[in-house]
Amino acid sequence: MLRFDLSAGSSSRIAPAAKDLDLDPGVFSEIKVDIALFSIAGKRRLQIQARAMAALECDRTLRPFTLPIAGTHVLELLAPGEAFDADGDVEPLFVALGQDIVNLTVAVRDTLLLAIPARKVAPDAEKSELQTVFGASGKHIDWRWETLRSSNKLD
């Protein structure tokens, strides 16, 4: 579980383990999280910047590779029942009066999961040539294809 003390100060840098965030340690490593508490127009907000190394499988070559990922998440601190005006990428975090400790496990985990690209392509995979011809090479062609080609005059 990842907790942040609102009374401790305006910022914090932590390096949680993948298990603490309910993430697979075989996929996520070198996790670093920067948390900043700030105010804008009288609203208190938490900005979470999460970075990690992700072990992924290339969609193009099916080979494993490691990719640095990063994401940002902003939470607005609100009292229970307080109205929340949706403001772009800001999400509400309801905090009871006098509550100094907030659980940021879900926010950090989701930030890292959403930072994984939809198309996972290794850096060198775009340059590699994909195999498009399979089977034995040579001039031997199944006679049925030749019959089909000549009957449809595809040549």
Question: Residue 34's pLDDT is what?
Answer: 96
Tell me: the pLDDT tens digits for 99-155?
888 999 999 999 999 999 999 998 888 777 776 776 666 666 676 777 777 776 654
Please report the pLDDT score of residue 137 as a whole number: 64
Of 21, 42, 34, 113, nearest to 74 (Cα)? 34
Nearest to 27 by CA among 48, 52, 62, 59: 52
Asked if the model's pLDDT at residue 32 lies above 90, the reply is yes
Of residues 47 and 91, more confidently modeled? 47
CB-count exposure of residue 14 (10 Å: 0-12, 13-18, 19+): middle
Q: What is the mean pLDDT of residues 50-55?
A: 97
Query: pLDDT tens digit string along 61-99?
Result: 899 999 999 999 999 988 888 888 777 788 888 888 888
CB 69 within 8 A of CB 115: yes
pLDDT over 80 at 23, yes or no = yes
The answer to whether 52 touches 27, Cβ cutoff 8 Å, is no
What is the rounded distance in angstroms from the CA atom of residue 54 to the CA atom of residue 69? 7
Q: How many other C-beta atoms can be found within 10 angstroms of the C-beta atom of residue 95?
A: 19
Q: How much is the pLDDT for 140? A: 65
